[in-house]
Homo-oligomer: A and B are copies of this chain.
C-alpha cells in the first residue's frame, strides 16, 4: 500500500519509509530456544511489542528479556480481561475484538512512523497464537514477516524425554475445552495426542483420558524447558491444578525398527 500521494507537496513525512512488522516466535520458554533469526529480528527492530495480562509482565516479555537491545521501545499490548470468561460470551468476544483492533492500530502507527516492530509470541506465531489476530488485520496494509518458533508442545515432549510420534503414527492436538465425550472419542481414534488448554478443564480431561484407556500412557508436563519444570505420569498427579504452561502428552507407539 502506498501511503504517500506522489502529487502532494514534499512534506517531511514523505521521506519516511513505512516499517515492517515481524511476527517472531519465542519458543517454549527457555530463552536459548529462540532461533538465530528471532534474535536478529528482535535486536534489529526499534520497537518490541508483546501481549500480556494487565498488571503482569507477561510470559513473552520474560522469555525475550535476555535478548532485548538497549534503547528498544516497548509496546505492551494488555488484554482487557484478566479472569477467564467463556468464549461463548458475546460481550467478551466484542471486547477482545476491540482489543485486537486497537492493538493493530497502535502497531500501525509505529509502522507508519517508519519504525519496524517485532511482535513476539510464545511458541510458534501461527499455531494457536494471539499474533494471528493482528496478522490478519495488518498483513494487507503493511509488509509483514513471520518467523517460526519451537512450539510449547515440542518443548514439553522434549522435557519429558518422550518421542511423540513414530513411523506412521497419527498425532491429534486437542484443546481441553472440548466436551468430555468428544475428547474420549478422539483420544480412542488417534495414535498419539497432545492436550492443551488445561486450566479448569483439567479434571474433565483426566476423566476423558481414563475413559479412553490411556491413563497409563499419559504424561503431565508443566513449564517445559523453563524454571520450575515438572514432568510426571498423569496417574501420579494427585491435584487438579494446571497452570497456563501445562499440557498432557500421550506418546505414540508406532514402528520402531
Task: Give chain A's interface residues, CB within 8 Å of chain B.
Answer: 25, 27-28, 30-37, 39-40, 87, 93-94, 96-97, 100, 124-129, 132-133, 135-136, 139, 146-151, 154-155, 157-158, 161-175, 177-178, 186, 189-190, 197, 225, 255-257
Contact = CB atoms under 8 A, between A and B. Distances in A.
Contact of A148 (B28, B128, B133, B255): B28
A32 B22 CA distance: 15
Nearest to A124: B154
Number of copies: 2
Given A25-B150, A32-B35, A87-B168, 6 more contacts: A127-B165, A129-B163, A148-B154, A170-B173, A170-B186, A173-B173
A125 B165 CA distance: 10
Contact of A127 (B96, B154, B170, B174): B154
Contacts of A37: 30, 32-33
B148 A124 contact: no
Contact of A93 (B27, B87, B147, B257): B257
A177 B30 CA distance: 35
A24 to B, nearest CB: 11
Contact of A126 (B94, B136, B162, B174): B162
A215 to B, nearest CB: 21
Given A96-B257, A149-B154, A175 B170 contact: yes
A165 B128 contact: yes
Top 9 closest pairs, chain A to chain B, by CB:
A32-B37, A132-B163, A96-B257, A171-B173, A148-B158, A97-B257, A148-B154, A168-B175, A126-B163
5 contacts: A32-B37, A127-B157, A136-B163, A148-B155, A148-B158
Contacts of A147: 33, 158
Nearest to A177: B168
A96 B257 CA distance: 6
